[in-house]
Every structure is written in C-alpha cells, then in structure tokens.
Amino acid sequence: MRDKKKVLGLLAIFTIGFILRLLYINTDFWYDEACSWFSAMQNFPLGIMDNLLNLDLQHTPVYFFLLHFWMKIFGDGEIAIRTLSLIFGVFSVPMAYIVTKKLFDKTPALAVMAIVAVSPLLVFFSVEARMYPLSVFLVLVSLNFLVDFEQKGDKKSLIKLILTNILIPYTLVGGIFYNLSLAVCYGIYLFKKKKETLNLYLKGLGIEAACLIPYFVLIGYYAKMRSLFVIRHEGEFAFWQMVEVIRNFFASTIVDNAYWPTLRTYDMTPALVLLVMIPCGYFLYGFVKGYIKSSGFLKSLYCLFFLNFVLALVFAIFEVNIFTMRYILYLLAPLFILSVYGLISSLTKHHFIIFLAYFVLTSIGFDIHYSKKIKTLKHLALSAVQEEAKLLGFTNQDTIISPFGSDAAYYFRFTNSAKMHNFDFHKELRNPYNSRYYDSEQQKLMDKEAKYGVIYDSVFADKCFSDNFVDYFLNDINNKTETGRFVLVALYGADGDNIVSIEDLRNSVKNIKDVKNNAVQILLRKYIYDILFLLERDFNFIQRYKKDNFTYILYQKK
C-alpha cells in the first residue's frame, strides 16, 4: 500500500509537470525559435552546418540535426516543433527524481521532482523550440551516470558518462563549462580520495577531449568571425544581471522578458518579498548549508556547479558569452537537488514541508497566469506582421521588409504568403564580408578600426550606403514588384523610433567619436533611411501607422 501511494505520488507530480508545460506549447514563435526552424530545414548535414558557419555563428549542431528529422516526420508547425523540446522538458522531471534518489533517498527525491515539475523557469523553457530543454536533460543524465560511476567504479558507467558529456557541448556551446567544471572538481576529488579510480577516469577524459576537438575548432572559428563583427549588441556585463539570473532561477515567478539580461531594479513590494525574496533566500540558504554539511563526492558536486556558475560569470565579464539564464539553464535542476539536501538537513520536517508546499503552489499559480500572458508577448514578436499582411490582403505578389527577424521568415514560408526578403539588420550588417551590403572597397575596411570612417562618410555622402545594396534592393524589390502591388516596411519595437531625415541623422553625427559611441543606432538609421529612399523611387507612399509592437509604412508600386 505504501509503495502504491508513492507510485501515485510520482505519477501525480509528473502529470502536473506535463500539464503545466502543455499550457505553453500552443503559442506563436519568437525570433530564436524561427531561427531553429530555418537552421533545421536546411539539408542534412552540410546545409545545416553551412547555415551555422555563415549566418548563425554561435551554435553547435546536435539540436538542429535532431529537429531536422523530427520535422520530416511530424511537420513544421509550432506545436509539432515544440513537442521535441517538450519530451526532454517533461522527462527531466523524473530524471531529477532518479538522480536525487541515488544521491540521497526517496523523500528528498520527491521534493526535488515536485520543484522541478513546477519551477517557472524550467516550465517556461521546457517547450522552447531551442536547445535548452535538451541541455537540461543531458546534464541530468550525465549527473546520473556520474553517480553510477562513483558508486560502482565500472567502465560501463564511465562510457555512458563520457558519451553523454560529449553531447552536451555539441548541443549548447556554453555546455563546455559543465565539462570543464566536472573534470576539475571530480578529478580533484578522485586524486584526494580514490587514486585507484582516477586513472580510469583520466582515460575517459582523454577520449572525451579527442571527441571534442571538432567542437574547439568550431568555437575557435566562431570567436574569430564574431571578433570581426561590424556591430555588437551584447553589452557589457553588470552586477544586476547576476542578480536577475538568481532571481529567475529560484523565485516563484520570472520576469516578463526571460530571454535577455537587463539592468532592471526591483521595487520593494509584497509580491517581491513573498514570491521572489523568500524562495530565493531558502534555496540559497539550502545550497550553502548543504555545502557546509557535505563531504567527499557530494562536496565535489557543490564545487562543480558553483564553478560552472563562476565560469559563465567570468567569461561574460570578458564579453566572451552573455550571462543570461537560458544559457546556463542546465544548472538549475542540479542546484535544486543540492539546495533541497541542505534544507532537509537543516530545517525541521514540518518547516520544510510548509516551504515546499508554498513554493509549489505559488509556482503553479504563476505558471498558469504567465502561460496566458506569453501568448500575447510571443505574438507581438513575429507573427503580428503576418496578421497585418493578411488584413491588408497581401498575396505572394506583395513584399514585407523588416530589419528584425526577416532572416527566418517562418510566418511567410507558404507559397501563397507575402514575400519576406532577408533584410535582417543585425545579421546582414554585422558581417564585414557581406557583399550584399558592403562594396568591395568597404569590405577591406569594415573589419578594422577604419570602419568608423566608412560609416561616417556614408552619412554625409549624397547616396546610399553602398552600390551593392542599391543593386540588391532594386533587383529584388523595385524591379520584381508589379505595378499596383504593395510593400510593407515593418519596424519592430524601438526600431520605429529610428526613422529620421538625413538632415537629422547628420546633425547627430559630429565626428568619428560619435560613430564609435553609437555605431549600431547610426547604422540602423542610415539603413532605414536608405530603404525608404529606394522605395520612394518607384513606389507611392500610402500611410505610416503604429500597431501593437510595430511601426508600419505602406507603399504601392507606381
């Protein structure tokens, strides 16, 4: 009877976690999810790798390989694509239970499973059409095999561990922080406590390192190419970004934009205290207490995930990566495991049960609330333009131009849809060797300090930025649009505030230093100005209006 109750409890927790994740599956794509579709739709494997090497320049291929074949079987609708992520997101819940049970016993395992099932950040990203749910699952699987190897010391467990660890960086570029942290912390532990096992583990690390050589070649190429970017928008690391990551990791709520780090400050409200400060305080207290009480292998796990966090932090400070919660989401479930151990060993049974119930209930309430809100937020990211095109009666004879998101035109993929040409600002202009935007002479300078002079000169020249861009635009837009058909310029969010006259643009640029300090904004303003200038050669201006999160400008071919 007792075992039956535990089975029912496990099923109940799994079902709750599954249902909460299902609440998020039927929403529109945002930009990065559309990019996943675009990468995965290329030919396997060379087409996918070509896209990653020439357009993406930041991701490794395993997720896109999987998604490629998944889409061939199940289609490329939002729900179909997200179901792949859902599988990994849902099964991370029982995997967290399995790992915790092996480390401790059933009571903390049930608690961890409940927390992972309802955690707002894990629930939200569990159905993201990106590599994050897979990376969360793989790290838990790795931790499971690590515990097996620690307890058994056998080759079979080590092989499983190494194979899983090889997959992690090939799934998520920053996953290498986990591999490095594990090698250091577990290696030191073995050196001190189990020298007889250390040699076997080092052999496994040798195989892992050999298999990761292509990974290091790839990220070396990415580092070289990204260092040449004409424009960068990551921004410098700030202390509040670390605060925000911790806040979203452990609170019963997450911020509206969980994708990108901000410098937000928090008003001291009852909701902040009850839903953020209290759960964050408990989990951080539990992690510290667990570290103090632990020893041997368990302490090496605390060191592993703390070092992983620190590595991500340090590399963000040096602007190698961005310190945002989705890039280190794989840390969260293990951190819950280690925090729960500290809480259970420090609090009374009733105290812990009250906190657990409090966190679970408040998190479920937020998950339900946020699932409704996110539908609107994601709709305004990309698909709102498709909706506007439909309202205007656009067909495949009409064209959409957008400086944001046009490189992954998911919502214009059908044969009867309006055409969306690739005028994505950040993708097109950041590559100094892009011959569609830069002339040959400009390309010789755009990867050097001289690029600021090129931008400055373009602002004061009585022509568009480059002849190549003029040719590309006229051939693909002006010359291919039939008389009477339409072009809709869709400017996302603050992009609409960058519609300026050439006189105002010139007045804002007094010297080269102004260009250095505001290169992104100046390039964007010149980019938009040139697009509108070229349209007005062969099109009649119809209207300019704002709707939802976009500024629209409608033209009709003369």
End-to-end CA distance of the chain: 80
Over residues 481-532, the pLDDT tens digits come to 999 999 999 999 999 999 999 999 999 999 999 999 999 999 999 999 999 9
Helices marked H in 29-105: 31-40, 46-51, 62-74, 78-103
Residue 106: the pLDDT is 86
φ, ψ of residue 247 in degrees (nearest 5): -60, -45
For residue 235, name the pLDDT band (cuts at 50, 70, 90).
low
Which tens digit of pLDDT belongs to each residue from 264-276? 777 889 999 999 9
Contacts of 235 (CB under 8 A, 6+ apart): 261
Per-residue confidence (pLDDT) for residue 266, from 0 to 100: 78
Spatial CB neighbours of 473, under 8 Å, sequence gap ≥ 6? 530, 531, 534
The strand pairing partners of 539, in sequence order, are 557
Q: Helix 195-211 vs helix 213-227: angle between axes, to the nearest 10 degrees?
A: 50
pLDDT of residue 1: 61
Give the three-state DSSP class for 552. Answer: strand
Q: What is the mean pLDDT of residues 346-372?
A: 97
* Pairwise CA distance, residues 135 & 453, whole Å: 43
- Helix (DSSP H) and strand (DSSP E) numbers for the chain: 26, 5
pLDDT at 422: 87
Place of tokens 């931790």: 143
pLDDT of residue 268: 87
Average pLDDT over residues 459-486: 96
The C-alpha atoms of residue 491 and residue 531 are separated, in whole angstroms, by: 12
pLDDT, tens digit, for every residue of 87-132?
Answer: 999 999 999 999 999 999 888 999 999 999 999 999 999 999 999 9
**Residue 497, pLDDT score:** 95
The more confident residue out of 232 and 538 is 538
Rounded CA-CA distance 501/482 in Å is: 28
Instruction: Determine the 3-state secondary structure of 547 from DSSP.
Output: strand
What DSSP designation does 420 have? E
Q: Is 230 or 326 the better-scoring residue by pLDDT?
A: 326
Question: What pLDDT digit, counting tens, does each position of 187-210 carry?
Answer: 999 999 999 999 999 999 999 999
Backbone angles phi and psi of 543, in degrees to 5: -165, 160
| Confidence at residue 234, expressed as pLDDT on a 0 to 100 scale | 61
Q: Mean pLDDT across the stretch 405-434?
A: 90
Q: Which of 307, 54, 297 is nearest to 176 (CA)?
A: 307
Q: Calculate the average pLDDT of the chain.
A: 94
Q: How confident is the model at residue 430 (pLDDT cuts 50, 70, 90)?
A: confident
* Cβ atoms of 389 and 369 closer than 8 Å: no
Query: In the chain, what percentage of residues exceed pLDDT 70?
Result: 99
Q: Please check the confidence at residue 240 and state whether its pLDDT lies above 90.
A: no
Task: Between 339 and 429, name the one with better pLDDT.
Answer: 339
Whether the CB-CB separation of 235 and 264 falls below 8 Å is answered with: no
pLDDT at 319: 82
What is the torsional sign of CA 151, 152, 153, 158? Answer: negative
For the stretch 287-303, pLDDT in tens is 999 999 999 999 999 99
Q: Which letter does DSSP use for residue 130 in this model?
A: S
Question: CB-based burial of residue 336 (10 Å sphere; 0-12 exposed, 13-18 middle, 19+ buried)?
Answer: buried
Over 80: is that where the pLDDT of 231 sits? no
| Residue 363 tokens, joined | 């998190």
| CA gap 530, 549 in Å, rounded | 23
Q: Supply the pLDDT for residue 217.
A: 97
For 45-97, the pLDDT digits (tens) are: 999 999 999 888 899 999 999 999 999 999 999 999 999 999 999 999 999 99
Please give the Cα distance from 220 to 396 (Å, whole number).
Answer: 41
> Could you report the per-residue pLDDT of 522-558, keeping only the tens digit for each?
999 999 999 999 999 999 999 999 998 899 999 999 9
Instruction: Supply 317's token pair.
Output: 């400070």
User: Where are the strands (E) in 454-549, listed by range?
Assistant: 486-492, 539-547
Under a CB-based contact definition with an 8 Å cutoff, are residues 429 and 231 in contact?
Answer: yes
Does the pLDDT value for residue 354 go beyond 90? yes
